[in-house]
Structures are given as C-alpha cells and as structure tokens.
Amino acid sequence: MTVAGMKAWLCAIVRIGLDSKDSDYMDCWSKDDSFRKQGLANLMEKNRYETINQYFHRNDSYKAVPHYHPEHDPIFKVCLIIENFCQQFVDAIDRETNHIQRMEVMRGDGTESDDDSIVQAPTVDLNAPAQWIADPNGFVPQEQLQCTHNIASQAGNPDRLAKLRPMNTHFNEVFNNNYTPYLDVSIDESMVTFKSCLAFHQYMPGKPIKWGVKVWALYESTTGYMSCFQVYTGREAGQEQRLAHGVVKDLMAPFHHTGMRVYMDNFYTGAPLLRDLSALGVEACGTVRSNRNFMPADLLPKKVQLQKHQYKTTQAGHLTFSVWLDTKDICVLSNFHDPAQTGTVSRRSGLQEQQQIVVPLALADYQSHMMGVDLTNNMIGY
C-alpha cells in the first residue's frame, strides 16, 4: 500500500459521501453512464476500494481480544485514531481553559501571576468513567457533558455557552485555517435540531427545522463551505438593537481589507452597516427593508409606482439603492455595484419557458450568490 493509494482511498470515501444516502455506492463503478462517476472510477478500481475497506485498521490485529471474549472491543482496529482525535480535542480545551483561568487571575489583582499552579488547568483523563469523551456503560449523561471547567460558567458570567465555548472557538479556528473562501460569501441563519429544555431555544416557523438552536454562519457561495459561525444564545442587555449589525461585523472580522464580497438578506442589511464594512475593505450587498433608516424617500415602494419587472436605481456616495417589482417590491442596497450596470434573472411570467429579465446588477448578483446555506443544508442531508 502506498501513500498515493491511501490518499486516493480517502478521496473516494469523501466523494461517495457527497452522493445521496439513498443510492448504492456501487453505482459509482456502474457500466451505465447515468449512474457511473467517471472521476471516481478512474481514481480507484471497485475491488481495490472494497479490499482497503475490508482490511484497513490502525492497530495490531494480533493483540485483538477474540469475539467470544467478554472484553472484546468491536472498534479495536480504529481505536487508536479515535483516541488520537480525542487527545487533540482535549489539548485544545485545556489550552482554552488555561487562558480563561489566567484572565480570571489578571482581573482579580490586575497583574499576571507567576505561580504555575494557579493557571495550570486540570487535564482530562481519557480513561475516567464520566468524562465528556466516553463512558464504559454507554453515552455520557447530558448533565456531565461539558468542554470546559466550571470556572467559566460560575455566577456572574453572562456567557450561556460557557461550557461549550472552547469547542466553539476551536472549530471556528480550524474552519478558518484550513480553507479561505475565494471571493463571494453569504451570511445567513441556520437551525440545529434541539428539542430539550434550553434557555435560548428558538422557534422559526419559516425554516425546515422549526425548533432548535439558531446559528449565524458565513458560507462560501459556490461550495457552501462554512468558514465561521456564532450560536445565538438569546437577547442580552443592550444587544438586540444592533444585533444583526454586530453579527455581520464579527463574522467578517477575518476578512477585513481582502476585497471579499458578502451577500445577506434584509434582516442584516442597512446603510450604517454597509458604510462600516466599506471602511473595513469589505464589499457588501443585500436586500433591505423599505422601513430602514437612511433609505431614499423618493424611491420607496409607497412613493414610486412601477410596472411588473420595472426597476429604478439611485446612488448616494458609494451606496447604490435599487427597487424592482416582481410579484412584490424588492429593495437592494450595495456598497460596490455600479448603478448603471445590469444583469438578468430567470422568470416564467405565466409562460411555459423561462425568460431572462433585465434587472440591476446588484439584484442579479444577490440571487446568484445568496445560496451558500442551501448548499450546506443539502450536503448535511446526504
């Protein structure tokens, strides 16, 4: 077995995982062109793929306990990989906890202590019966599952996600470090299914998942790759008025002065936000609510009368505002589009075939690039 062969096998696993869960992976090597995945078939033969699946393991098989023995481990062949992943995760959690304890000390006396015993976080024992990783008798009880120590969740700490904050931070760092979006990204909210009792439980009737935890996330428009995310933990004092403004600026923080283009819906878009992003070197575009402040009064839907598929555009400084009538009025605000440029969108208009309708370029780009969350949700369903 060669390194190139192992890489090909891993690529095959990822490629098969992207297909629908209802299809048989053997169809990837089918002689029928409608089912065959030519790239995968050229990458590795079917028999080779199945042989590696059958014999792949990361442990010494001679040390395995027989199946009939009470101490037999069904995942013995890959337990070293699992332990390695767990250890890396625990190390990341310990580093974050050390930082939290050091900050507690600095807030207490204004100076950083030289006593290592004060800032040294206790390590997680992988063999303990009630840790977050595993329990010999089954899953860890929910009340014991936490990824940091109780110092981060004591009274007076307003962070409702304190027990999972190190894991949240670690995942965001990994997502950002492993891949950089190319040019166009979108910000949208998503729901994670959760039906138990939780202080920041959300109900969103317009989403496929109606009950759960709401997450703000930044997605690459072409691939659906999630670069970073925030968990919404409920209303906080002084936050709700500019909540959307702060969410967008936080998610775009790693991409200041990169020329990145971000698209968002009317929950986030506003003139102050787009001005702030422009000053930070971020291009932004999105639909906007007509009752937001600083909108041009003479082009608001209540004042302007448009025929279906007509539009009007105006510009103030570097902000471009457009209103277009489809089945209802759609307002778009951008800080980088030329008001004279146009694009096209597809509409049926009661006809059998779709027609290309001329619209402001900002609206055409918004429709093309505001699909990152949909791509991600489709992949999660596979």
Residue 136 predicted with pLDDT over 70: no
Number of H helices and number of E strands within the chain? 10, 11
% of residues, the chain, pLDDT over 90: 20
Residue 349 predicted with pLDDT over 60: yes
Q: At what angle do helices 165-178 and 79-109 cross, to 10 degrees?
A: 110
345: which strand partners? 357
Residue 376 predicted with pLDDT over 70: yes
Rounded mean pLDDT of 152-161?
Answer: 58
Rounded mean pLDDT of 273-297?
Answer: 91
What confidence category does residue 274 fall into, taking pLDDT thresholds of 50, 70 and 90?
very high
* Ranges 8-17, 247-256, 319-328: which has the least confidence: 8-17
Q: How confident is the model over 177-199, as pLDDT tens digits?
A: 888 888 899 998 888 887 777 77
Question: Please, are residues 170 and 96 in contact by the beta-carbon 8 Å criterion?
Answer: yes
Residue 169 predicted with pLDDT over 70: yes
Rounded mean pLDDT of 161-185?
Answer: 86
Residue 336 predicted with pLDDT over 50: yes
pLDDT at 302: 81
Kind of pairing between the strands at 211-220 and 202-203: antiparallel
pLDDT: is 131 or 167 the higher one? 167
- CA proximity to 103, closest of 174, 54, 152: 152
Question: Please, are residues 103 and 109 in contact by the beta-carbon 8 Å criterion?
Answer: no
Residue 380 predicted with pLDDT over 70: no
Residue 362 predicted with pLDDT over 90: yes
